[in-house]
Chain A
């Protein structure tokens, strides 16, 4: 049960941050979900010889402790790679606040407990401003009431009911859906034979 996400937020105002940037392909040659923290934002965080880039926000205090990102438009666009979300979770990111997210990224986030509250452009800009402050003040995201509190700022956010429920309950969608096995079998029983795909081996 997670109802409130609280932490230091880092501003990442770039638009169209794609999943190639979040998780470069050289980290994808793996059959596990683990070991992806170092790959996350790798080309933004590190230079060609592996040194931290001093200009990147997450390399600077207090944002080295950030667990929330305030992001630009269309964050998570591009490839379907869930590795991007796994890596962000392994980097201890609990939430990304933005004006809109790419669809597959949004669904991947929900499956892994990464909250993606959607706010207005004005609210996002105010939160970017707030999180730019070096004092390390925390932002609080209340999933139940769908509101974000940051100092004097209090703004509502959008999140569909199913995603909200999923984040709060932390459930396993696959096991949950199997409770509807009867309905799936009934649906299949209603299909014409010509609607049953059988791939030639």
Chain B
């Protein structure tokens, strides 16, 4: 037996081969949000098509909603929100809207509702759908035309990817989190290094993580270009399936959802867990990162003129000087949230740093729990009190918020944000906004310091 987990998942979902070289694969479960689905529904209408299997879909509001209140912050976002609800009513699809206790960021909601189990194939009009690989399930992002295709046929046209394995072995040091591990992988493999690949993460530093950490890893795998990310299901996965609204309602047996011992991958990387330090991004691509103890690169670090030019462009956008120490970078804003790092475990890690400390003067600090259920749990545990006492603004509603600034949480031109999110692209958090990616605990450390800071100095 020498099949990879990825190929087992594809084989189990293949409906048929198509004459042009694609195959049709079956989508067990499909998630929609309010901004990548409207044109899919109107496509169905234009072609006079219905939804193939309405029960296999879930729609949530997360991208454009305000998180200060249940009310949309403007008329345009209300149109998107109302449009999705109307489409769900029309097609008899489950809808978790504003005010519903199950509402939140789609990739936080799905695991806490027990809607992902090993062996499934899950699609969603959102690139971070790779998150579900944490459960030994094949999840990937699709465009709006493909959303229409899944709605109409419950399948997708698909090409088998090449396979890559990234092994992270050995113990990581205290203060090093799953976020640092995946940021290190992105740094090593490169921003487009896994284009065309499904990536399986393995090694003791991965299998030692809880589900929240595994989700962070698979979530950000898309930043290396991976079309799918996978971690073998084990007893930690099994334990995490218990106690949710959908628990026990479905199971995908028939295969052992791990790669066979003799499985061969097209590409392989090995990273030593012991070599990973808490990282921060300094540039405008997620692979532009350095350890918090290091300096921003200088032109001397690069050989090719293209690389030197890219460095110059990134530094100019980011308002940094070459060779500047990472810890000298002062921040305006601290943001904890997003599908990468807004789960209860993330909030606990940040709260440990914040307990007994104060947000530095002049820093605006915001935390947006990933879902209504996460917020309720965090409040019951006393985390809200810790965040608020420290000077963080605790948002009462869940959503993507400042991760991509599609609601009213927009960073201003030149505003510098320490962010627990996944993308530091130009303009991502607002036109001209400057994003530094890091773990939630590192965001908390930066918030209380007023500048990027080493979480390991906070005992």
Contact = CB atoms under 8 A, between A and B. Distances in A.
B115 A199 contact: yes
Contact of B192 (A16, A104, A192): A16
Given A24-B427, A29-B76, A200-B245, A16 B413 contact: no
Contact of B145 (A28, A112, A194): A112
B16 A197 contact: no
Nearest to B191: A16
A172 B49 CA distance: 13
A115 B405 CA distance: 30
Interface in B38-79: 38-39, 42-43, 47, 49, 52-53, 55-58, 64, 76-77, 79
Contacts of B364: none
A43 B21 contact: no
A101 interface: yes
B233 to A, nearest CB: 16
B80 A29 contact: yes
Interface stretch (A2-10, A76-84, A133-141): A76-84
B246 A101 contact: no
Interface string B141-182: 111111011001111010101000000000000000000000
Contacts of B425: 18, 20-21, 78
Contacts of B53: 188
Interface in A155-180: 160-162, 165-166, 172-175, 177-178, 180
B118 to A, nearest CB: 12
B253 A192 contact: yes
Nearest to A183: B16
A104 B428 contact: no
Interface residues of A, number: 62
Contacts, number: 210
A193 B243 CA distance: 21
Contacts of B52: 184
A187 B47 contact: no
A153 interface: no
A152 B161 CA distance: 35
A196 B55 CA distance: 9
A160 B373 CA distance: 44
Contact of A82 (B144, B428, B432): B144
Contact of B426 (A20, A28, A80, A162): A20
A103 interface: yes
B170 to A, nearest CB: 30
A193 B128 CA distance: 29
Contacts of A160: 21, 159
A107 B143 contact: yes
A38 to B, nearest CB: 15
B335 interface: no
A104 B226 CA distance: 10
Contacts of A103: 161, 195-196, 225, 227
Interface string B114-144: 0100001000011100000000000001111
B157 A20 contact: no
A29 B407 CA distance: 10
A194 B251 contact: yes
A177 B153 contact: yes
A102 interface: yes
B235 interface: no
Nearest to A32: B39
A102 B313 CA distance: 22
Interface in B68-109: 76-77, 79-80, 83, 94-95
A13 B306 contact: yes
Contacts of A20: 404, 423, 425-428
A81 B39 CA distance: 11
Contacts of A30: 38, 76, 80
B269 interface: no
A167 to B, nearest CB: 11
Contacts of B80: 29-31
A136 B112 CA distance: 56
A199 B94 contact: yes
B25 to A, nearest CB: 10
A12 to B, nearest CB: 13
B152 A180 contact: no
A174 B77 contact: no
5 contacts: A18-B423, A74-B195, A81-B143, A162-B22, A199-B56
Interface of B: 15-16, 18, 20-22, 24, 26, 28-29, 35-36, 38-39, 42-43, 47, 49, 52-53, 55-58, 64, 76-77, 79-80, 83, 94-95, 113, 115, 120, 125-127, 141-146, 148-149, 152-155, 157, 159, 161, 191-192, 195-196, 223, 225, 227, 245-246, 249-254, 285, 306, 310, 313, 404-406, 413, 423, 425-428, 431-432
